[in-house]
Amino acid sequence: MEKPRPRDRQEQVIILEKQPLPRFLVSLFFTLLIWIYSVFVVWFFASALLNTNDRYSGVLKIAFKTSNAEVRTFMLIGVSIFLAFLLYFLFWRTYNKKRFGNKSRRKQPMPVTVDDLEKLELMPLETIKKLQASNYMEFHKNPVRDLEK
């Protein structure tokens, strides 16, 4: 059996990858494409919110057949739905705190003892002790008994 590792120690892992040049160029192209798209989306909503009509956002509004008022209404509906869910979850949190208090359910399980393993009746006691004492064991036959169904 493997002993659990201590959880308070953090290891830093640095992963370096060598990319082939065509893959790097393709990923750079798609990354730039997504960034440009994101800027256009933010500008589209910001121009509707600020009620400005420049050439680029105007083209988008013509393409989507919408106006600044409709986009603002859409954003207002989205914010309203967000606030409704936020209030609902705040209410639910308050209800659970009042009903259950500040219970902390996250506890470390108790360590498994040899007696606990023996009560399972899956292995003989000698095998359990050998497994706990050694770092490496090799079995030619499965030491775990089959469970009766």
Helices (H) and strands (E) in the chain, counts: 5, 0
Please identify which residue in the block is written with the tokens 């949190």.
93
The C-alpha atoms of residue 30 and residue 22 are separated, in whole angstroms, by 12
pTM for the structure as a whole: 0.50
The C-alpha atoms of residue 77 and residue 69 are separated, in whole angstroms, by 12
The C-alpha atoms of residue 57 and residue 71 are separated, in whole angstroms, by 12
Q: Contact at 8 Å (CB) between 84 and 68? A: no
Burial class of residue 48 (count of CB atoms within 10 Å of its CB; 0-12, 13-18, 19+): buried
Q: Note down pLDDT in tens along the chain; length 149 residues.
A: 555 555 555 666 666 677 889 999 999 999 999 999 999 999 999 999 998 888 888 888 888 899 999 999 999 999 999 999 999 999 999 999 898 887 776 778 888 888 888 888 888 888 888 888 888 888 888 888 877 66
